[in-house]
Structure 1
Amino acid sequence: MRRLLTILIVLGVIAAVAGWFLSAPKPLFAAGDKSLESGGNVERGRQVFFAGGCASCHATPGQSDRLKLGGGVEMPSPFGSFYTPNISPHPTDGIGNWTVADLANAMMAGVAPDGSHFYPAFPYTSYAGAKIDDIRDLMAFLRTLEPVAGKARDHALPFPFNIRRGLGLWKLVFFRPEPVRDDPAQTPEWNRGHYLVESLGHCAECHSPRNVLGAIVAAQRFAGGPDPEGKGWVPNITQSENGLKTWDKADFVQLLEFGLTPEADTVGGSMGSVVKNMAELPKPDLEAMATFLKSLPAREGPPKPAK
């Protein structure tokens, strides 16, 4: 028994050490790396800002200015409540001291400047496909905004979800960061829409069902499912019979630009905020997104529960 106990202890130590190394954050750039600082276009960064939906999650609640990014928005989930951080250029409460590399690590690797993991409630699983030039432009725009004082409260997560290091193991299983690549067989418009929908727009993050560990079910991507925040049901946006098969390109553009369905209904909830963001984009970008969305293969999502 003593020998068996010793073996179990040794195996436990080995497993703990292996888990520690396997769960280590993997930034793309060294902390504080300034190699990406040159360049950056503010107007293009503004478009990246709205394409990425930054205001929807990070604008300070209780006021109407979508460019005051003090954070503090509650995001309920099955794992507890997340609270979005301050991403204004405030030097201590926001990201005023971040470099472009820090922003790239956050958005494309889910790693904070202090080396800790971000929770995937921040959709870096989609932003990982972004172009580094877009991240540079986004930072140029963010630096023009008003600094907002005040830090958001900490996440309210029970054990073991409050242990950030464990996210490294989640990433090993579910996070495969890679750029969104153009398909040479498709048109430039389709490829632009592909990039906007799959990366910056992160549409799949809401319009896909998730497994018990919070990862998107790949086989049902874009096929709808329970709202991640527990506020109802998110629709299937593929070309299935239960999705948007009857919509044409103009219908998609109308929804993105004005929030109107072909039946003249107005979208609400979180999609209303998405429409406010999309309406700030150039019309060709909306048309590109519509072209890609119309091309999504038919997929069936989980059955919608009866009301």
Structure 2
Amino acid sequence: MVKVLRLIVPAAIVAAGIAWVMTAPKTVAEDAFASPEGGEVARGETVFRAAGCGTCHAAPGAEGDDKLVLAGGQSFPSPFGAFTAPNISPDPDHGIGEWSLQDLANALLHGVSPEGVHYFPAFPYTSYTHMGDRDIVDLYAYLQTLPASSAPSQPHEVGFPFNIRRSLGGWKFLFLKDDWVMDGNDLGAELTRGRYLVEALGHCAECHTPRNALGGLDRSRWMAGAPDPSGKGTIPALTPDKLSWSATDIAYYLESGFTPEFDSAGGHMAAVVENTSRLPAEDRAAIAAYVKALPVPVAASTGY
């Protein structure tokens, strides 16, 4: 027994050390965003709209200009618990007013806080990891122009073991990918832009793609529809076997909220349309082109 323990204990220590290293938060290079050049606020607003920042981080029930006060507080249910959007206004105490550009880059690209702690993937950094450096710089510039809020961020309601932040390093190892789902370097300008808007900024797959038992996106059923995380209803598929709209129909829906069947966007999608309606027309056309180019998934959606 002693001999067995002499073998097991060192092996366990080595395994624990490897796990600790593998789950460590990763960050951008220290000089990655050291350029003295400032961002363009106007471009930053476009990134803000495309990424839907205000949709999640405005206070519950906010209307009009109050939607630009990113006080947080909205709750997002999931099979793992309820996640509450934090205050990301420029307030130095309760928001992100003290964040550097590198802090924002680490949050968006790696899901890591300024304190070096993993963020829960309810914050869609699995999509934002594709963001270009210039968009991050411009978004940072725009966020600094928004009103500050002193509302404290509210805690998440996530129980054990899902509340173990370090374990998210293992989750990221499995599911935080830096490759595109719609692959290829010969997509053309419009499809390439559409891919960026859908897979990166718009993070459309976070809702429209089913997840596995660990909450990772099932890429084999990309955009194939999924159960609503609230447990009520389903989020529709966008693949060509389920969505028969033309590219013109899709672009018009993203501008007006009206469907070819004379219905209108509701629920969370109404907020998405509020953002896409403010994008350039060519961006809505690019999103539509991407959706029309989606392949039929290999399996039907079964959800979490």
Settle same-fold status: TM greater than 0.5: yes
Deviations 1:127-166 (A, max 9, x none): 1111110010001100000111122111111111111010
Contact 1:255 1:261 in 2 (8 A): yes
Distance 1:179 1:91 in 2: 35
Q: For 1:99-178, what aligned pairs fall within 5 Å after superposition?
A: 99-178=100-179
1:57 is aligned to 2:56? yes
Amino acid at match of 1:177: D
- Per the alignment, residue 39 of structure 2 pairs with 40
Q: How far apart are 1:291 and its partner, in Å?
A: 1.2
State the alpha-carbon separation in 2 of the partners of residues 157 and 27 from structure 1: 25
Which secondary structure state, in structure 2, belongs to the residue aligned with residue 214 of structure 1? coil
Q: Evaluate the alpha carbon distance shift between residue 97 and residue 37 of structure 1 in structure 2; reply closer, same or farther with a 3 A threshold.
A: farther
Q: 1:280 to 1:113 in 2, by over 3 A?
A: same
Other-structure match for 1:228: 229
Instruction: Quote the Cα distance in structure 1 between the aligned partners of 2:181 and 2:109.
Output: 12
2: CA distance, partners of 1:135 / 1:51: 12
**Contiguous gaps of at least 5 residues in structure 1:** none
Q: How many residues align?
A: 300
Q: Note the alpha carbon deviations across 1:62-109, whole angstroms, 9 max, x for none.
A: 331210001111111111111111110011111111111111110111
Contact 1:42–1:138 under 8 Å retained in 2:
yes
In 1, Cα distance between equivalents of 2:184 and 2:265: 32
Q: 2:274 aligns with which of 265, 268, 276?
A: 276
Pick which of 224-233 and 190-199 moved more. Answer: 224-233
Match of 2:4 in 1: 4
Q: What does residue 219 of structure 1 align with?
A: 220
| Structure 1 range deviating more: 176-185 or 71-80 | 176-185
SS at structure 2 position matched to 1:120: coil
**Are 1:249 and 1:290, in contact at CA under 8 Å, matched by a contact in 2?**
yes
Root mean square deviation, CA, Å: 1.9
User: Per-residue deviation at 1:12?
Assistant: 2.2
User: Where in structure 1 do 4 or more consecutive aligned residues deviate above 4 Å?
Assistant: 178-184
Amino acid at match of 1:290: A
SS of equivalent residue, structure 2 residue 112: coil
Structure 1 residue 11, shift from structure 2 partner: 2.4
Deviations 1:7-62 (A, max 9, x none): 333322222221111100001133x9860452200011000001000011100123
Are residues 28 and 181 of structure 1, via their aligned partners in 2, closer, same or farther at CA, if it must alter by over 3 Å? farther
Structure 1 counterpart of 2:48, one-letter code: F
- Note if contact 1:129-1:180 (Cα within 8 Å) is conserved in structure 2: no
Task: Return closer, same or farther for 1:254/1:291 CA change in 2, 3 Å cut-off.
Answer: same
> Which amino acid in the other structure matches residue 268 of structure 1?
G
Q: Residue 210 of structure 2 contacts residue 302 of structure 2 at CA under 8 Å; is this kept in 1?
A: no
In structure 2, the residue matched to 1:291 is 289
Task: Describe the shift of the 1:182–1:138 C-alpha distance in structure 2 as closer, same or farther (beyond 3 A).
Answer: farther
Query: SS state of the match for residue 112, structure 1?
Result: coil
Question: What are the residue-to-residue correspondences of 1:68-87 with 2, within 5 Å?
Answer: 68-87=69-88
Amino acid at match of 1:62: G
Structure 2 alignment gaps of length 5 or more: none
Letter in 2 for 1:24: A
Task: Give the CA deviation at 1:3.
Answer: 2.5
The TM-score normalised by the length of structure 2 is: 0.93
- Give runs of aligned pairs for residues 200-219 of structure 1, distance below 5 A: 200-219=201-220
Separation in structure 2 between the aligned mates of residue 108 and residue 102 of structure 1, nearest angstrom: 10
The separation in 2 between residues aligned to 1:107 and 1:179, in whole angstroms, is 16
1:20 paired with 2:35, answer no
Q: Letter of the aligned partner of 1:283 in structure 2?
A: A
Alpha-carbon distance in structure 2 between the residues aligned to 1:288 and 1:117: 33
